[in-house]
């Protein structure tokens, strides 16, 4: 949700900033801007500021190719306060034009601060909450940017990741974090500061993750991190494992398409080294729990948002049916503001691709405050949720750039299958059953490959139905959360209305929506729920509603009832979520293409939602 990048070093800063912002565009894309410090010889002159509404391509056009300067900051915005226009875009300057800031997060007390500063004669240019930070720093500035930032932070309420520069302090960038991620990139004679490592991967893989309350002051050859009490810290430098290629499109037309087709590999990575055939169980050392602690767990709770919540819903059904542990998945945004009962011997899993989702993070902290253990299931290494949880499972999907989550979802599923097996083997599951379960899990990457091979069939069906204004996605049991996920994918990238429903529920209301213009997409389980699902399909057909069915290959009966049929590889019913979700991802993708949507960066959305 908004992206920050800063650079100080020997190279032309404007290029590095624009390039970095392009990498961060998925975090927000309604406007962008850069602020570049004049070089030493011209110190004291105001900063060069360029801001543009729209995507980074617009900013790129506006930035002169030979813009001089070696230190600067940039920002790509997802609007919270103030409409989308050039003025509200970041960076923001103070009154003198010497201080520039970029900000991610929300300043909750900006109205009071603005009133105070206006009384002092400050003139505001934008409608944003962020601009107040520039003026506040200016108010406190007395020749030392770091001190002015620290003094200003004491007055800010809310969340922030900030980067700022001052025209009189050449080569220096000061950053601060509270609730919005900031990472330092340690280069060779150059330093970077960004909200996310993807912005710096082309320059360095040595990074320092700032913690809440920390401030960094950097020059090309050095950086200093201090905490809220002004103590200088000795932070650990981490190494980022992601390769640059992982954040390129590599021949695909967009990131979402690439990420959908990467799934056989990303799932294999999530499983790699974790399947223990000898003991018919899984090895998840990152949980950091002793056998005794694992045995003491009596119930599982999942907290998550969006697609990660859907993975959690599948995970909880597995915990119940495979491991015989009571389990429920909660929407993080709901849980936090209830007064949740935290039962003893419960373990909570915070599931998040980005590891930065504010709703999930705050819900997790609420649960921790009440004394329960929260484990993370995250993709982004070093993310806040990963760092604040007691242990967990990294899903190793690699960077997910498209706003619509696809490969992270199937890797989260893989993590839940491993967890369910681990718990099951501690209770009722036999060694033989464990080995059989693992045998099926091992086949999942190939099953997904088989489902993706239906690409052309799915494209043709998507084209046929691309005129529809409403869709129903229907599934039962483990396939109910998959139906929710299919509907979410379609909504978010094609802007077509879709409802995910439990197939058995349609007769309780939604069947009233059925008409020749409202297609129903059924996910057909291959167990005892198949016949019931077929009855539900017939109910829709009887009312003139078109039916698209995703079912096992060779299911002649389903093929004969449905108007359109997407065959997927046959597997045990327990593993059908893996074969059913890729067709839904592709269906949404092809409809969005037909409708000419921006698949990777759909309107109004941002990849990682760091505000509530």
The residues annotated as belonging to the active site are: 2, 607
Return d(Cα 609, Cα 354) in angstroms, integer: 9
Beta carbon nearer to ligand M6R, 191 or 197: 197
Q: Is 373 in the site for ligand M6R (CB under 6 A)?
A: no
Return d(Cα 387, Cα 400) in angstroms, integer: 19
Q: Which of 195, 354, 520, 601 binds ligand M6R (CB under 6 A)?
A: 354
Beta carbon nearer to ligand M6R, 318 or 385: 385
Residues in contact with 457: Cβ distance below 8 Å, sequence separation at least 6, in sequence order: 566, 567
Rounded to 5 degrees, what are φ and ψ at 498? Answer: -145, 140
Whole-angstrom Cα Rg for the chain: 26
Structure tokens given for 439: 């045998």
Beta carbon nearer to ligand M6R, 180 or 518: 180
Rounded least distance, CB 411 to ligand M6R, Å: 11
Among the residue ranges 135-143, 301-309, 537-545, 559-567, the one whose residues contact ligand M6R (CB under 6 A): 301-309
Rounded least distance, CB 499 to ligand M6R, Å: 16
Q: Which whole-number Å values give the CA distances from 241 to 196, 433, 516, in the listed order?
A: 14, 35, 51
Return d(Cα 383, Cα 541) in angstroms, integer: 47
Q: Is 180 in the site for ligand M6R (CB under 6 A)?
A: no
Return d(Cα 612, Cα 606) in angstroms, integer: 13
Q: Which of 48, 178, 195, 405 binds ligand M6R (CB under 6 A)?
A: 405
Structure tokens given for 215: 């401030």
Return d(Cα 144, Cα 223) in angstroms, integer: 15
DSSP characters for 338-373?
Answer: S-----TTEEEEEEESSS--HHHHHHHHHHHHTT-E
Q: Which of 31, 217, 266, 307 binds ligand M6R (CB under 6 A)?
A: 307
Rounded least distance, CB 195 to ligand M6R, Å: 14
Q: Is 353 in the site for ligand M6R (CB under 6 A)?
A: yes
Structure tokens given for 175: 């950053």
Among the residue ranges 199-207, 348-356, 470-478, 538-546, the one whose residues contact ligand M6R (CB under 6 A): 348-356
What string marks each residue from 477 to 516 as x (binds ligand M6R by CB under 6 A) or -? -----------x---x------------------------
Distance, C-alpha 359 to centroid of its chain: 12
Beta carbon nearer to ligand M6R, 306 or 477: 306
Rounded least distance, CB 475 to ligand M6R, Å: 17
Return d(Cα 361, Cα 352) in angstroms, integer: 9
Pairing of strands 346-352, 299-304: parallel
Q: Is 360 in the site for ligand M6R (CB under 6 A)?
A: yes
Q: Which of 47, 73, 117, 305 binds ligand M6R (CB under 6 A)?
A: 305
The residues in 129-148 that bind ligand M6R, with binding defined as CB under 6 A, are none
Rounded least distance, CB 581 to ligand M6R, Å: 12
CA-based nearest residue to 60, from 48, 49, 51: 51
Q: Is 104 in the site for ligand M6R (CB under 6 A)?
A: no
Q: Which of 88, 159, 198, 308 binds ligand M6R (CB under 6 A)?
A: 308
Among the residue ranges 163-171, 250-258, 352-360, 437-445, the one whose residues contact ligand M6R (CB under 6 A): 352-360
Q: Which of 128, 357, 384, 610 binds ligand M6R (CB under 6 A)?
A: 357
Percent composition of the chain: helix, strand, coil (DSSP 3-state, to 5): 40, 20, 40
Rounded to 5 degrees, what are φ and ψ at 91? Answer: -70, 160
Rounded least distance, CB 536 to ligand M6R, Å: 26
Beta carbon nearer to ligand M6R, 26 or 160: 26
CA-based nearest residue to 236, from 188, 286, 184: 184
CA-based nearest residue to 405, from 184, 559, 255: 255
Q: Which residues of this chain interact with ligand M6R, rule CB under 6 A?
A: 305-308, 352-354, 357, 360, 403-405, 488, 492, 608-609
């Amino acid at each position: 949700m908004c992206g920050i990048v800063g650079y100080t070093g020997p190279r032309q800063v404007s290029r590095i900033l624009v390039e970095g912002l392009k990498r961060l565009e998925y975090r927000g894309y309604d406007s962008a801007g850069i602020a570049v410090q004049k070089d030493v010889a011209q110190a004291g002159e105001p900063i060069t500021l360029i801001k543009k509404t729209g995507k980074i391509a617009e900013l790129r056009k506006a930035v002169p190719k030979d813009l001089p300067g070696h230190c600067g900051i940039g920002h790509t915005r997802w609007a919270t306060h103030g409409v989308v226009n050039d003025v509200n875009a970041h960076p923001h300057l103070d009154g003198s034009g010497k201080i520039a800031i970029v900000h991610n997060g929300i300043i909750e007390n900006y109205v009071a601060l603005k009133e105070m500063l206006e009384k002092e004669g400050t003139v505001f240019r934008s409608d944003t909450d962020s601009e107040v930070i520039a003026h506040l720093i200016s108010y406190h500035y007395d020749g030392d940017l770091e001190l002015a930032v620290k003094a200003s932070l004491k007055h800010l309420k809310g969340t922030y990741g900030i980067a700022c520069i001052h025209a009189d302090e050449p080569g220096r960038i000061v950053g601060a974090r509270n609730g919005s991620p900031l990472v330092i990139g340690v280069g060779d004679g150059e330093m970077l500061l960004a909200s996310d490592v993807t912005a710096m991967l082309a320059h360095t893989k040595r990074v320092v993750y700032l913690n809440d309350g920390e401030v960094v002051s950097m020059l090309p050859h050095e950086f200093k991190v201090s905490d809220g009490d002004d103590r200088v810290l000795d932070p650990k430098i981490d190494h980022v494992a992601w390769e640059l290629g992982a954040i390129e499109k590599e021949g695909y037309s967009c990131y979402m398409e690439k990420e959908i087709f990467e799934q056989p590999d990303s799932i294999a990575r999530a499983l790699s080294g974790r399947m223990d055939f000898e003991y018919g169980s899984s090895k998840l050392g990152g949980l950091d729990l002793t056998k005794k602690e694992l045995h003491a767990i009596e119930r599982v709770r999942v907290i998550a948002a969006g697609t990660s919540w859907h993975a959690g819903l599948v995970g909880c059904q597995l915990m119940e049916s495979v491991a015989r542990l009571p389990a429920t998945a909660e929407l993080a945004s709901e849980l936090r503001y209830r007064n949740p009962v935290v039962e003893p011997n419960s373990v909570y899993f915070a599931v998040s691709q980005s590891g930065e989702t504010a709703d999930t993070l705050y819900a997790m902290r609420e649960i921790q405050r009440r004394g329960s253990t929260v484990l993370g299931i995250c993709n982004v290494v070093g993310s806040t949720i990963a760092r604040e949880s007691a242990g967990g499972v990294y899903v190793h999907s690699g960077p997910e750039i498209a706003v619509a989550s696809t490969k992270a979802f199937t890797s989260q599923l893989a993590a839940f299958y491993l967890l369910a097996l681990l718990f099951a083997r501690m209770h009722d599951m036999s060694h033989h059953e464990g080995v059989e379960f693992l045998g099926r899990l091992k086949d999942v990457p190939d099953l997904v490959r088989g489902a993706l091979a239906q690409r052309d069939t799915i494209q043709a069906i998507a084209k046929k139905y691309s005129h529809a204004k409403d869709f129903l996605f229907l599934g039962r049991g483990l396939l109910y959360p998959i139906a929710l996920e299919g509907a979410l994918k379609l909504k978010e990238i094609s802007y077509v209305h879709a409802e995910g429903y439990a197939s058995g529920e349609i007769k309780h209301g939604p069947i009233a929506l059925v008409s020749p213009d409202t297609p129903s997409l059924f996910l057909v389980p291959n167990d005892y729920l198949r016949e019931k699902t077929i009855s539900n399909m017939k109910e829709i057909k009887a009312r003139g509603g078109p039916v698209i069915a995703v079912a096992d290959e060779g299911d002649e009966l389903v093929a004969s009832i449905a108007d359109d049929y997407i065959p997927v590889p046959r597997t045990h019913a327990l593993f059908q979520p893996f074969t059913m979700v890729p067709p839904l991802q592709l269906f949404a993708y092809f409809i969005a293409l037909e409708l000419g949507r921006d698949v990777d960066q759909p309107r109004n959305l941002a990849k990682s939602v760091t505000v509530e």
